[in-house]
């Protein structure tokens, strides 16, 4: 059982007063002037630590933890990670990190001192329920899914502390690790960067390519129209098991729902039928992952594999003869987000997933990529002569992949491989597209991985012709800035909107017009058009009408889509009361009614603009002044 710990210092009056005032008033109250940073002191962490220790010893979650959780609205904050990336209340981040730091410290201490794992698991379930994160059904199933892997990591990672673990998992909430081993470097095969020559964009009438970008499919084979969309599990509903519908407005729509529900088969099929009829000139498809629905407490290996097979079959059946270049998303694994390093060969080995996608992706990819796909779900292949695609597994940067607590140093040697592939492409005179699920500047991408990724992109900026991501479910872009000449934007990445409505969104897709196949082509994106289905309309009419929401050049009055032009757009959107920003937010949120009703105030605007100018999560300096 647990070894003795030193006696706790007596909390100061300041600590008690600070935490009490936060619980009674909080920074969210009108007129409140107490910054949460004052609450994050060693003494406050002492109070929280004692509360966690008491909970471990008694099995009962005490009133302090319950009150803090309720004041933070912890259940809503955790669900905001992807769905409301621009609106998360960052003023609460320090206290969230303190709760995580002291809570995991207590759990790690208990594990290392022989506490019965069943006691810890029971406490985790109780905390999940009593802190309002979800109901007992969710909490029991999810904790039982993840506890084996977490215990393995906590038992086998040397010198692990709560601060270190939280600084990796909750980097998106501002938590920081103090472990110097988390800072590492990837050696470039050639550090001598050739002179940068800006690409020459083609004259009108030059050949072009048309490219479909599908992102965040989140297909739910068990979606049930009319089922409960306001279920107790909170994170995911709209199924037969979601409980009784207590009022008519709680019923899920036939074609999808703005609440925590994913895409039924007939919604996806209607989208594919529309794409086939409207875009008959597609040259290839980029598909940037997340095929599994959001029922994260109720997944299985076999269930996930079957959904992946079904999604691949739908694409193959609907777009025969069109090359497809996929990337893996964080929801493809079981448990969700769990992507162990390829050298893990015990019961947690990830080969059950990678071996299957190697087979499924062979529908479109050549045999020579099979080895790297089976190893770590990344690959390099030619799209056509002179144009290559690198598909990167960004789950190795995702903080919620708890295997990074165990070992985050270039998992799968992926960044080393990426740099070597880009170096070979540079030598061959090829252009390269980088495709991934999670954008490298996303809040939840670990800082060192993100920094090293950016270092590689900067070195090979003239070889890289395009960068394409998903994950956020929104429609936006991400600037890459020269780390030396910091005002020079040298690349722009495109983040495609989700196919799923999850959550508060309309389903949609993106089509790029790209500099075409000819000698000396830049292969840069020349324009993109964005299509949606309005859920309110289709659930009323029962007639799925996809329509073009906007095209980038015309809507934003841009002469081209160079990084400089996108940077100019950001500058214009910074202005107070910018109608350009209002237009951008409308498109960013896919014209979805819930987002339009909520609006985007100055705080929201500042966060969203910040996300547009950060590609390196270790450097937010471009957010200064926003």
Q: Residues comprising the binding site for Zn(2+)?
A: 216, 218, 290, 330, 437, 471, 473
Query: 249, exposed or middle or buried, with CB in 10 Å at 0-12, 13-18, 19+?
Result: exposed
Q: Which structure tokens are listed for 163? A: 């601060």
Q: What CA–CA distances, in Å, run from 265 to 105, 262, 310, 360, 554? A: 44, 10, 10, 19, 33
Question: Rounded to an integer, what distance in angstroms lies between the CA atom of residue 129 and that of residue 219?
Answer: 28
Q: Which structure tokens are listed for 315? A: 């694409």
Instruction: Please count the other Cβ atoms lying within 10 Å of the Cβ belonging to residue 578.
Output: 15
Find out whether 500 and 483 touch, Cβ atoms under 8 Å: no
Query: 551, exposed or middle or buried, with CB in 10 Å at 0-12, 13-18, 19+?
Result: middle
What residues are designated binding site?
216, 218, 290, 330, 437, 471, 473
Paired strand residues for 214: 287
Q: Residue 145: CB partners within 8 Å, gap ≥ 6? A: 297, 299, 334, 335
Question: Rounded to an integer, what distance in angstroms lies between the CA atom of residue 551 and that of residue 208?
Answer: 16
Q: Which structure tokens are listed for 71? A: 């004041």
Question: Rounded to an integer, what distance in angstroms lies between the CA atom of residue 61 and that of residue 123?
Answer: 8
Question: Rounded to an integer, what distance in angstroms lies between the CA atom of residue 147 and that of residue 138?
Answer: 14
Strands 284-287 and 324-326, by their bridges, are parallel
* DSSP states along 255-318: T--SSS--B-HHHHHHHHHHHHHH-TT--EEEE----S-S-TTS--HHHHHHHHHHHHHHHHHH
Strands 546-551 and 324-326, by their bridges, are unpaired
Question: Rounded to an integer, what distance in angstroms lies between the CA atom of residue 391 and that of residue 474?
Answer: 21
Question: Rounded to an integer, what distance in angstroms lies between the CA atom of residue 53 and that of residue 50?
Answer: 5
Backbone angles phi, psi at 530, to 5 degrees: -130, 130
Paired strand residues for 228: 251
Question: Rounded to an integer, what distance in angstroms lies between the CA atom of residue 179 and that of residue 216?
Answer: 34
């Amino acid at each position: 059982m647990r070894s003795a710990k030193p006696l706790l210092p007596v909390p100061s009056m300041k600590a008690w007063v600070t935490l009490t005032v936060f619980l009674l008033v909080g920074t969210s109250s009108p007129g409140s002037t107490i910054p949460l940073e004052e609450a994050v002191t060693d003494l406050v962490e002492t109070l929280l630590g004692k509360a966690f220790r008491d909970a471990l010893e008694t099995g009962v979650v005490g009133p302090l933890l319950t009150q803090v959780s309720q004041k933070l609205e912890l259940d809503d904050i955790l669900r905001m990670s992807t769905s409301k990336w621009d609106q998360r209340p960052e003023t609460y981040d320090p206290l969230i990190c303190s709760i995580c730091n002291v809570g995991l410290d207590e759990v790690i201490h208990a594990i290392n001192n022989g506490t019965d794992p069943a006691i810890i698991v029971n406490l985790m379930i109780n905390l999940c329920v009593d802190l309002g994160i979800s109901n007992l059904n969710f909490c029991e199933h999810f904790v039982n899914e993840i506890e084996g892997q977490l215990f393995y990591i906590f038992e086998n990672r040397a010198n692990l502390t709560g601060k270190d673990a939280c600084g990796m998992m909750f980097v998106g909430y501002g938590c920081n690790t103090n472990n110097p081993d988390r800072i590492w470097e990837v050696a470039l095969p050639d550090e001598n960067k050739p002179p940068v020559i800006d690409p020459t964009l083609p004259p009108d009438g030059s050949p072009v390519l048309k490219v479909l970008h599908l992102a965040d499919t989140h297909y739910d084979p068990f979606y049930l129209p009319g089922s409960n969309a306001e279920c107790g599990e909170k994170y995911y509903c709209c199924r037969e098991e979601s409980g009784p519908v207590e009022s008519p407005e709680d019923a899920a729509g036939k074609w999808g729902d703005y609440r925590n529900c994913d895409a039924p088969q007939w919604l996806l099929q209607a989208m594919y039928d529309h794409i086939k009829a409207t875009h008959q000139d597609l040259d290839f498809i980029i598909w940037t992952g997340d095929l599994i629905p959001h029922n994260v407490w109720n997944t299985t290996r076999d269930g996930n594999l079957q959904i992946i097979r079904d999604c691949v079959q739908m694409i193959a059946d609907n777009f025969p003869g069109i090359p497809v270049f996929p990337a893996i998303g964080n929801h493809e694994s079981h448990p969700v987000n769990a992507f162990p390093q390829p050298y893990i060969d015990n019961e947690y080995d990830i080969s059950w997933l990678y071996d299957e996608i190697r087979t499924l992706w062979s529908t479109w990819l050549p045999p020579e990529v099979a080895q790297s796909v089976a190893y770590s779900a990344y690959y390099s292949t030619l799209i056509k002569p002179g144009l290559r695609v690198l598909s990167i597994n960004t789950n190795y940067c995702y903080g919620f992949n708890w295997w990074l607590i165990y070992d985050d140093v270039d998992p799968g040697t992926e960044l080393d491989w990426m740099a070597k592939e880009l170096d070979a492409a540079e030598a061959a005179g090829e252009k390269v597209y980088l495709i991934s699920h999670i954008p490298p500047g996303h809040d939840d991408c670990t800082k060192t991985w993100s920094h090293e990724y950016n270092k590689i992109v900067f070195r090979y900026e003239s070889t890289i012709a395009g960068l394409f991501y998903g994950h956020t479910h929104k429609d936006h872009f991400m600037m890459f800035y020269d780390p030396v000449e910091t005002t020079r934007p040298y690349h722009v990445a495109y983040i495609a909107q989700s196919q799923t409505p999850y959550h508060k969104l309309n389903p949609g897709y993106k089509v790029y017009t790209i500099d075409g196949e000819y000698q000396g082509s830049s292969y840069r994106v020349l324009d993109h058009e964005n299509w949606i289905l309005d859920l309110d309309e289709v659930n009323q009419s029962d007639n799925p009408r996809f329509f073009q929401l906007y095209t980038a050049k015309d809507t934003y009055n841009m002469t081209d889509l160079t990084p400089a032009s996108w940077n100019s757009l950001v500058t214009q959107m910074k202005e107070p009361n910018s109608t350009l920003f209002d237009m951008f937010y409308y498109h960013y949120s896919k014209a979805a009614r819930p987002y339009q009703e909520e609006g985007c105030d100055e705080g929201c605007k500042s966060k969203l603009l910040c996300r547009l100018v950060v590609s390196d999560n270790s450097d937010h300096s471009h957010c200064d002044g926003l």
